[in-house]
Structure 1
Amino acid sequence: MKLLAKFNILLILLFGVGLLFVSRLSRGFLEENAREQTLQQAKLMLSSARSTRDYTEQELDPLLETTPESTKRFLPQSIPFYAATVTFNHLRKDYPDYTYKEAALNPTNPRDRADQWEADIIDYFRNHPDKKQLVGERQTATGTSISLSQPITTNKSCLVCHGSAATAPPTEILTYGSANGFGWTLNEIIGAQIVSVPTAVAEGIASRLYHTLLIYISATFLATLAVIDLGLYFIVIRPVRRLAAIADLISNGDLDQPEFTYKGKDEIAEVTASFNRMYVSLKKAIQMLDR
Structure 2
Amino acid sequence: MFAISLIVTSTLQQNATREVLAQAGLMLDSAKAIRSYTETEIGPLLDEKMVSAFRPQSVPFYAATQNFLTLHKEHPDYSYKEATLNPTNPRDRATDWEADIVQRFRNDTSTRQVSGTRDTPLGRVLYLARPIRVEPGCLSCHSLPSMAPPTMLARYGSDNGFGWQPNEIVGAQIVSVPFASAESSAGRVRRDVLTAIAAMLVSVLLVVNASLYVLVIRPVRRIARIADQVSLGDTSAAEFPRGGGPEVAALSAAFDRMRKSLDKALRMLGG
Tell me by how many angstroms 1:152 deviates: 0.8
- Specify the alignment match of 2:161 in structure 1: 181
Q: Does 1:41 align with 2:23?
A: yes
Q: Does 1:273 align with 2:243?
A: no
Structure 1-normalised TM-score?
0.81
Aligned-pair identity in percent equals 49
Q: Which residue of 1 aligns with 2:203?
A: 223
Amino acid at match of 2:153: I
Question: Residues of 1 paired with 2:68 and 2:232: CA distance?
Answer: 88
Cα distance in structure 1, aligned partners of 2:14 and 2:210: 40
**1:198-277 alignment to 2 at 5 Å?**
198-263=178-243, 266-277=246-257
Q: Which region of structure 1 is more displaced relative to structure 2, 197-206 or 220-229? A: 197-206
2:43 corresponds to which residue? 61
Distance in 2, matches of 1:104 and 1:261, equals 86
Q: Which residue of 2 aligns with 1:132?
A: 112
Gaps of 5+ in 1: 1-18
Alignment-mate amino acid for residue 253 of structure 2: A
Alignment of 1:81-230 (within 5 A): 81-230=61-210
| Aligned mate of 2:56, from 61, 65, 76 | 76
Structure 1 residue aligned with 2:34: 52
Which stretch of the first structure deviates more once superposed, 204-213 or 275-284? 204-213
Shift of 1:35: 2.9
Which amino acid is the alignment partner of residue 89 of structure 1? L
Q: Return 163-172 or 214-223, whichever deviates more.
A: 163-172
Distance 2:229 2:70 in 1: 83
1:21 equivalent in structure 2:
3
Structure 1: distance between partners of 2:245 and 2:171: 80
User: Per-residue displacement from partner, 1:207-253 (whole Å, max 9, x unpaired)?
Assistant: 44444443333222111101101111111111112222222333333
Contact 2:102-2:171 at 8 Å conserved across structures = yes
Give the deviation of 1:101 after TM superposition: 0.2
- C-alpha distance in 1, partners of 2:99/2:26? 23
Q: Which moved more, 1:231-240 or 1:49-58?
A: 49-58
Deviations 1:157-176 (A, max 9, x none): 11222233333234333433
- Give 3-state SS (helix, strand or coil) of 2:183's partner: helix
How far did residue 26 of structure 1 move?
Answer: 4.3
Q: Secondary structure at the match of 1:184?
A: coil
Residues in 1 aligned to 2:245 and 2:144: alpha-carbon distance in whole angstroms: 97
For 1:22, the aligned partner's letter is I
Which has the higher mean CA deviation after the structures are superposed, 45-54 or 253-262? 253-262
In 2, Cα distance between equivalents of 1:144 and 1:194: 16
* 2:79 aligned partner, one-letter code: T
Q: Distance in 2 between matches of 1:259 and 1:270?
A: 14
> 1: CA distance between counterparts of 2:238 and 2:96?
94
* 1:48-71 superposed Cα distances (whole Å, 9 cap, x missing partner): 2112212222233234446xx555
* Greater mean deviation of Cα atoms: 143-152 or 234-243: 143-152
TM-score by length of 2: 0.86
Quick one: which of 236, 255, 268 aligns to 1:288? Answer: 268
Unpaired stretches in structure 2, ≥5 consecutive residues: none
Q: CA RMSD in A?
A: 2.5
In structure 2, the residue matched to 1:31 is 13
Instruction: Tell me the alpha carbon deviations over residues 81-108 of structure 1, each in whole angstroms, 9 at most, x when there is no partner.
Output: 1121122223323432221100112222
1:11 aligns with none
